[in-house]
Amino acid sequence: MRLIVRTLAIVASAVALGAPSTGALAQYTDRPINYIIPFVPGGESDIAARLQQKAYQDRFKREMVVSHKPGAGGALAWSQLNALPADGTQIMGINLPHVVLQPLEGNVQYRTDDLVAVYYFHYTPDAILVSVDSPYRTFGDLVKAAREKPGDLTFAGSGTNSANHVAHEKFNVLAGVKTTYVPYKGTGDLATAVLGKHVTGALSYVTFAIQQRGKVRALAIATEARHPAFPDVPTFKELGFNWVDGAYRGVAVPKSTPEPLRRQVSDLFAALNQDPALRRQSADGGFELIEVPYDKVPAFMAERTREYRDIAKRIGLLK
């Protein structure tokens, strides 16, 4: 986690909010940006894109269209990214650990190196959750039950080879328990499963806990310090686990995009990440903003990939 702090160094002053960046805007003229989200509407990726869309349109008086291409946990869209026009108007959301783990499984039509991420803007911290009337009132209660009944406790998550899947395996390893992961298509189905008690709980995010406030109980959160929205909920670190992680989101462009234009897209999203309203609404929604511009993406990806490959061994994707 060396590269991940709440806010890394702010990018060059050319993208500061005090003045529009002519370099970042030069390629867009009056054409709308098509911002493709590889998932169904309503999830965390869509919520983030809507905040960026408004910040872009308010700040630069230009149009950004958010569209969706769901399928195969994002793999459908990512396999088609490099066929899109490489002119800066076609931008796609990209998620970790998805784009590292999916190719390891071997059933997707892209490789991790095929995708050109130009900026990562936030992560949603992992959280372990149960329904508000669950008999498990603390993390300790949950772990005790899991140790007494190996394999019986079930946890919902969004998709396989996803951040929720990784979090579930991490929970099993760090807590020394054996529980069962139950994948769902998205956050809506996951909420139904938890609130309907079809599962013991969920490995999800702080964002989910905020959205379902009053209906679910967070037992532990994967942030450095206690989250202001849940001051009574311990962090995993407080509980003795080295766990500060979640789902990372950024934007990618087609691989044939010229180098200068890649940097311009990165600068543009860096500017959006500094928008005061976006920052406030992101924090309120449980998103932890980070700054990983184009030049820092390779080191960031290398760090994250090392950890994901370790998890991949535990879930059988790597021998």
CATH code of the domain containing 137? 3.40.190.10
Mean pLDDT rounded to a whole number for the chain: 89
Predicted TM-score (pTM) of the model is 0.88
- Residue 29's pLDDT band, with cuts at 50, 70 and 90, is low
Q: pLDDT tens digits for 274-302? A: 999 999 999 999 999 999 999 999 999 99
- What per-residue confidence (pLDDT) applies to 248? 97
Q: How many angstroms from the chain centroid is the CA of residue 4?
A: 13
Show Cβ contacts of residue 143 under 8 Å, excluding neighbours closer than 6 positions: 175, 177
Half-sphere exposure of 315 (CA within 13 A, CB side): 27
| Pair (256, 114) in one structural domain | yes
| Pair (107, 159) in one structural domain | no
Q: pLDDT tens digits for 108-142? A: 999 999 999 999 999 999 999 999 999 999 999 99
Q: Is residue 231 part of a domain?
A: no
State which H helix or E strand residue 129 sits in. strand 116-131
Q: Is residue 308 part of a domain?
A: yes
Instruction: Give me the number of domains the chain comprises.
Output: 2
The answer to whether 37 and 45 have CB atoms below 8 angstroms apart is yes
Q: pLDDT tens digits for 67-94? A: 999 998 899 999 999 999 999 999 999 9
Tell me whether the omega of the peptide bond preceding residue 260 falls within 30 degrees of 0, making it cis. Answer: no
- What per-residue confidence (pLDDT) applies to 6? 33
| Pair (158, 73) in one structural domain | no
| Pair (200, 290) in one structural domain | no
Between strands 90-96 and 246-253, the pairing is: antiparallel
pLDDT average, residue stretch 150-166: 92
Q: Cα(189)–Cα(219) distance, rounded to whole angstroms?
A: 21
Q: pLDDT tens digits for 173-213? A: 999 999 999 999 877 788 999 999 999 999 999 999 999 99
| Pair (103, 54) in one structural domain | yes
Q: Is residue 65 part of a domain?
A: yes
Show Cβ contacts of residue 167 under 8 Å, excluding neighbours closer than 6 positions: 126, 128, 157, 203, 222, 245, 246
Q: How many angstroms from the chain centroid is the CA of residue 21?
A: 27
Grouping H, G, I as helix, E, B as strand and the rest as coil, residue 250 is strand
| Pair (154, 288) in one structural domain | no
- What per-residue confidence (pLDDT) applies to 3? 41
Name the percent of the chain lying above pLDDT 90: 77
Two tokens at 267? Answer: 């600068």
What size, in residues, is the chain? 319
The CATH number that applies at residue 81 is: 3.40.190.150
| Pair (115, 135) in one structural domain | no
| Pair (96, 57) in one structural domain | yes
State the amino acid at position 128 in one-letter form: I
- What per-residue confidence (pLDDT) applies to 27? 52
State the amino acid at position 160 in one-letter form: T
- Residue 319's pLDDT band, with cuts at 50, 70 and 90, is low
Q: Is residue 298 part of a domain?
A: yes
Q: Is residue 2 part of a domain?
A: no
Q: Is residue 4 part of a domain?
A: no
- What per-residue confidence (pLDDT) applies to 238? 97
Q: Which domain holds residue 194?
A: 125-221
Q: Is residue 237 part of a domain?
A: no
Residue with tokens 């989250």: 227
Q: Running DSSP on this structure, what letter comes out for residue 235?
A: B
| Pair (254, 201) in one structural domain | no
Q: pLDDT tens digits for 210-255? A: 999 999 999 999 999 999 999 999 999 999 999 999 999 999 999 9
Domain end call among 205, 221, 237:
221
Other Cβ atoms closer than 10 A to 249:
24
Residue with tokens 């905040």: 51
Name the percent of the chain lying above pLDDT 70: 90
Q: Cα(99)–Cα(161) distance, rounded to whole angstroms?
A: 9
- What per-residue confidence (pLDDT) applies to 30? 66
- What per-residue confidence (pLDDT) applies to 28? 56
| Pair (152, 284) in one structural domain | no
| Pair (98, 72) in one structural domain | yes
Q: Is residue 60 part of a domain?
A: yes
State the amino acid at position 168 in one-letter form: H
